[in-house]
């Protein structure tokens, strides 16, 4: 598909009332090539979108719909894990509609085919050429994106020869919109806790991608995720033993991400405010004794979810992948 073929993309959103659905709306409302045909939500059908996403008051008069429309080119599934598969079981989506699924249902290769649908894993820094010719996309997870971007250059040269150690902290929006004891402000604020130590579900897709580049990768990724007392963003510290010098590692990372407009590499200090509200990932690469240290930071709702989904849509329809995603960080 060429850019000249698709100047106008008609989009539908399923699960538009949640965090990822809200971010999808914010991006697509301002995307120069997109018309939002419908936003589906059973619980909010008939209500204005701005009744739920109050920051969109004045930007759109769209209302949530209870019914699906099939006069669209692309369908974003902004639903919970397990719910995308249930949705496709209950609804026959015509083959001409491309699906971009933000759940984990179709990310692993053994789950990438469902009914008559086939999904390509949508990490552009790994699969950009395959994404361009795909029919449907399985959008990567937030932690998975952050950690993979920190490790792919090493895997591309077969340099992941030892265990990998990761500590990463995510904002409260990573838990989704539904309330739970660990997502209430009174618990989360001024607090820090670990969860799913060494067995986070995103490790499966991370390992799959690393083996795609390195072949045999059988070392442990020792991943300790933290719940942070802030709203959005992921900051991950990654280290592993390496013979590379800092200059060699920096060059490797910069060369790997040449031509990838959202991933940027430095050896200077980085912080979350540089990337929150953007589709960027910043990587800091340093060397300490025999260990290479990578800091990876990104917005869990944008590069980790809705922003990356729109980046994938741009690639699917032959647009510059930055279209609609030139977003400004908060800064201060």
pLDDT tens-place string over residues 238-264: 999 999 999 999 999 999 999 999 999
Helix (H) or strand (E) holding 226: strand 221-227
pLDDT for position 134 = 98
Give pLDDT tens digits for 88-119: 999 999 999 999 999 999 999 999 999 999 99
- The residue from 78, 142, 146, 281 that is catalytic is 142
Indicate whether 175 pLDDT > 90.
no
Query: What percentage of the chain has pLDDT greater than the value 70?
Result: 94
Kindly tell me if the per-residue pLDDT of 1 is higher than 50.
Answer: no
142 is annotated as an active-site residue:
yes
**Across the chain, what does the average pLDDT equal?**
92
- Mean local confidence (pLDDT), 19-23: 94
Q: What is the pLDDT of residue 165?
A: 98
Question: Which pLDDT score is estimated for 174?
Answer: 57
CA–CA gap between residue 116 and residue 199 (Å, rounded): 31
* pTM of the complete model: 0.93
The three-state secondary structure class of 119 is strand
Answer yes or no: are the C-beta atoms of 182 and 227 closer than 8 Å: yes
pLDDT at 7 over 80: no
Give the model's confidence band at 176: pLDDT under 50 very low, under 70 low, under 90 confident, else very high: low
Q: Distance of alpha carbon 155 from its chain centroid, rounded?
A: 20
Handedness of CA 16, 22, 24, 26 (dihedral sign): positive
Q: Assign 3 a pLDDT band (cuts: 50, 70, 90).
A: very low
More confident residue, 110 or 189: 110
Q: How far apart are CA 275 and CA 289, in angstroms?
A: 29
* Burial tier of 2 (Cβ tally within 10 Å: 0-12, 13-18, 19+): exposed
Pairing of strands 164-170, 234-241: antiparallel
pLDDT at 28 over 90: yes
What Cα–Cα distance (Å) separates residue 239 from each residue in 28, 147, 160, 220, 304?
Answer: 37, 11, 11, 12, 21
Three-state DSSP state, 128: helix
In this prediction, residue 177 has a pLDDT band, given cuts at 50, 70 and 90, of low
Whether the pLDDT of residue 180 is over 70: the answer is no
């Amino acid at each position: 598909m060429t850019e000249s073929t698709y100047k106008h993309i008609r989009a539908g959103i399923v699960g538009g009332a949640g965090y990822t659905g809200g971010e999808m709306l914010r991006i697509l409302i301002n995307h120069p090539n997109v018309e939002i045909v419908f936003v589906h939500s059973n619980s909010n059908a008939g209500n204005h979108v701005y009744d739920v996403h109050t920051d969109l008051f004045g930007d759109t008069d769209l209302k949530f719909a209870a019914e699906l429309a099939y006069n669209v080119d692309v369908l974003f599934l902004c639903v919970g894990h397990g719910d995308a598969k249930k949705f496709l079981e209950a609804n026959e989506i015509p083959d001409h509609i491309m699906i971009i699924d933000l759940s984990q249902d179709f990310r692993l290769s053994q789950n990438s085919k469902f009914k008559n649908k086939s999904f390509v894993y949508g990490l552009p820094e790994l699969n950009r050429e395959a994404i361009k010719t795909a029919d449907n996309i399985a959008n990567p997870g937030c932690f998975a994106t952050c950690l993979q971007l920190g490790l792919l250059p090493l895997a591309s040269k077969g340099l992941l020869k030892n265990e990998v150690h990761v500590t990463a902290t995510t904002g409260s929006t990573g838990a989704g919109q539904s309330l739970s004891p660990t997502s209430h402000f009174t618990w989360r604020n001024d607090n820090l806790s670990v969860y799913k130590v060494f067995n986070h579900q995103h490790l499966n897709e991370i390992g799959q991608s690393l083996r795609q580049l390195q072949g045999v990768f059988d070392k442990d990724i020792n991943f300790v995720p933290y719940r942070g007392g802030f709203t959005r963003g992921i900051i991950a510290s990654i280290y592993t033993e390496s013979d590379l010098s800092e200059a060699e590692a920096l060059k490797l990372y910069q060369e790997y991400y040449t031509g990838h407009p959202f991933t940027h590499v430095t050896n200077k200090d980085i912080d979350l405010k540089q990337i929150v509200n953007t589709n960027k990932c910043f990587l800091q690469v340093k060397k300490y004794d025999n260990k290479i240290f990578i800091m990876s930071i990104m917005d869990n709702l944008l590069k980790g979810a809705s922003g990356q989904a729109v980046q994938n849509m741009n690639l699917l329809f032959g647009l510059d992948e930055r279209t609609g995603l030139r977003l400004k960080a908060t800064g201060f």
